[in-house]
Amino acid sequence: MSNDGTFNPFEMARSQFDKVADVIGLDQGARDLLRSPLREYHFSIPVRMDNGTVEVFKGFRVQHNDARGPGKGGIRFHPQETIDTVRALSMWMTWKCAVADIPLGGAKGGVICDPHNLSAREQEGICRGWVRQLARNVGPVADVPAPDVMTSPQHMLWMLDEYEQIAGGHYPGMITGKPVGMGGSLGRTEATGYGVIFCLREALAELDLKAEDTTASVQGFGNVAQYAIELYCQMGGTVVCVSSWDQEEQTTYAFHKASGIDLEELKGITNRFGGIDKAKAKDLGYDVIPGDDWINREVDILLPAALEHQITDQNVGRISDRVKIIAEGANGPTTPEADAVIQERGIFMIPDFLANAGGVTCSYFEQVQCNMNYFWERDDVLTRLDKKMTAAYHSISELASKQKMYMRDAAYVVAINKVASACRDRGWV
């Protein structure tokens, strides 16, 4: 929390970092360097709107650390975007790339806007304007953006096209999350959600649980949630609740069905921003309940898979005693105060920058394919992803059990040590 009582994700990211820096005895120079971004850009994007007026949008790019390789991180379009959110996400990206053991650093970008209220042409203007402001500071060997909340493969393609026009050549490795056939990678769409479940599969085996004997409740119904649900159900698990954002009412609702949700059925009544139609859901036998009730379901697994700040000191007490595993598909969904309670209760935590590293891992695969101009089959991509995620999971799980550490702390120890070591090797600290 910041001084005025509002949630500040950057303060949360720093407090998580400080806790582990103390544990590993990180020297002051490395600590000061890694607590703050190396660079950040704030800029204005003027766009001529469809009605002839000019609107100026506020844009950001934060490059937290690139000691291990070019920056990597998504671009969000969100009306509540803040620089502190972007700073926190860039920091988490640094740790995520290190945990997944890919040669990239952490970055993140954003624009304060609401795509719901913008035409495609206006959104294209924002994308091209964002690149014009940053063309000298991003690129395949400097910083590689990607889609994030409310951005899509189409947005990435507009950005790539603008960059290539400025740079005067083809540089498909400049951005990831592109459409397949235009430099995108097969398997990228599924990657984050599948990566969460690859980690969950390993955790279930470790806890001697069978997927078919478990149930789950999922927060969110966007890309990550939908593919996580798909693979988890293929493994035999049952999802009994999902929550989704209602654009009209500007709030969230949860959809519960004790016998288990039908993914394809719900997707059939979902709009392009992941909002489920309440009336149609009721007709299909779903209970429509308040959005934050996803957390108090009687299930074995909780999957927060949308935005940050979802499990807090205010609602962590509502988690059922039956819950054995929390797998964080979202970035930063759990506050440090809630973490302490989860750790005390012995709930097995698969932390965000391990659980959802499938997206950045597959983005790295896309970048590699673009740079060598040779593309792999979908099964190739997902097999490589499974290997990477499984190896990352075990490197952290083994440290956690050896040192009797909470999984999040173990993931931070692995990541921070790798990044600090790269900074030392370069002579920065």
- The residues annotated as belonging to the active site are 108
Amino acid, single-letter form, for residue 336: P
- Decide: 397 and 348 in contact? Cβ < 8 Å: no
Match 């720093």 to its residue by tokens. Answer: 14
CA distance 398 to 191: 24
CA distance 74 to 78: 12
Half-sphere exposure of 410 (CA within 13 A, CB side): 22
Degrees (nearest 5) of the Cα angle 305, 310, 314? 155
Q: Which residues contact 278 (CB under 8 A, 6 or more apart)?
A: 246, 253, 288
What are φ and ψ of residue 424, in 5° steps?
A: -65, -45
CA distance 417 to 407: 15
What are φ and ψ of residue 3, in 5° steps?
A: -60, -30
Q: Choose among 65, 96, 90, 64: nearest CA to 75.
A: 90
